[in-house]
Amino acid sequence: MTRITFAEAARRALAAEMRRDPLVWALGEDLVQGGIFGQYKGLAEEFGTERIVSTPISEATIMGAGLGAALCGTRPVIEMRIADFTLCAMDELVSQIAKVRYMFGGQGRAALVVRMPQGMWRNSAAQHSQCLEAWLTHIPGLVVAAPGTPADAAGLLMTAIRSDDPVVLLEPKNLWTAEGEVPEDPSPIPFGVARFAARGDAATVVTWSAPVPVVEQGAAQSGIPCDVIDLRSLWPWDEAAVIASVRRSGRLLVVHEAVTVSGFGAEVVARVVEAIGPAGLRAVERMGAPRAPVPFSPPLENAMRITPGRVAEAIRRVAGA
């Protein structure tokens, strides 16, 4: 194991996949210069500018070119810079990439990865801080992954690159510089398999992406023995692990950075209720952002953030402590 940042773990994983498969390449804005978070640093020097491609500033062009390249047999890694910019390429993603395998009866496939760094980061304001995860999980044909640790950043990216389905990789901007233990030789992490960050029968806490380390800290602060489940992927997601945990605890807290209203947490709660019935639940709570644009002001932005203290309080409420 080695202790490295989220960005470095992802960079090394991409480099390993490019060495393994010459059909893997990456395109997006400023990739030759290393990318906005340094996640492509040094790759152009190793692989050349035909495989690490800096594109014009046109998200629709980037997404469309990636689809065309995938249909021709390569495995593109499409860098959207930040998730908000994907809105300029939603037709290519939603109506073309997600549907092409179905529309052509499997004759063509979009074996590609769309990297979307999302969420709050250093006062980026309302147009650069959004979490689009619930929208993306709603789109048939897309796989959606959301790593919350450096090790998962590497393993999920490797799985995404090898997938024959289009994968949206939601990378948390606020964790690019976070450090964690990563295997020297990382392996792909399968989609739909959650990670238990803590164990306990008093409550079940489900989270993913940027809140993962915050929830881990909050759970420790709460003093309540609870299962802390990091989903790692949102579609498919590990329903079996979550439902089994809630059957034991009878208490569920879902925490995500995205707006609470219509967030993916609602899907988690709904599936749990359908599976075990309301009689099996003694307490349910969702924690997310208010339905408001993310402000530029640092104090106002901080007021919207999930904190360990807020998580600890919510766990105590749900656990009836």
Instruction: Find the catalytic residue in 51, 75, 81, 128.
Output: 128
* Residue 143 neighbours by CB under 8 Å, 6+ apart: 160, 163, 165, 166, 167, 168, 191, 233, 235, 236
Give how far the C-alpha of residue 262 lies from the chain's centroid of Cα atoms, to the nearest Å. Answer: 17
Counting Cα atoms < 13 Å in the Cβ hemisphere of 59 gives 18
* Residue 7 neighbours by CB under 8 Å, 6+ apart: 37, 38, 39, 176, 177
Report the distance separating Cα 245 and Cα 144, nearest Å.
Answer: 23
Pairing status of strand 167-172 against strand 179-182: unpaired
Q: What is the DSSP string of 219-283?
A: HHHHT--EEEEE-SEEES--HHHHHHHHHHH-EEEEEEEEESTT-HHHHHHHHHHHHH-GGG-SE
Q: What is the dihedral of CA 175, 178, 184, 189, to 10 degrees?
A: -30
Q: Is the peptide bond before 299 cis (omega within 30 degrees of 0)?
A: no
Q: For residue 43, give both structure tokens.
A: 């790759």
* Contact yes or no for 130/170 (Cβ under 8 A): no
* Contact yes or no for 222/198 (Cβ under 8 A): no
* Residue 215 neighbours by CB under 8 Å, 6+ apart: 197, 205, 207, 228, 255, 306, 311
Q: Residue 128 catalytic?
A: yes
Q: Report the catalytic residues.
A: 128
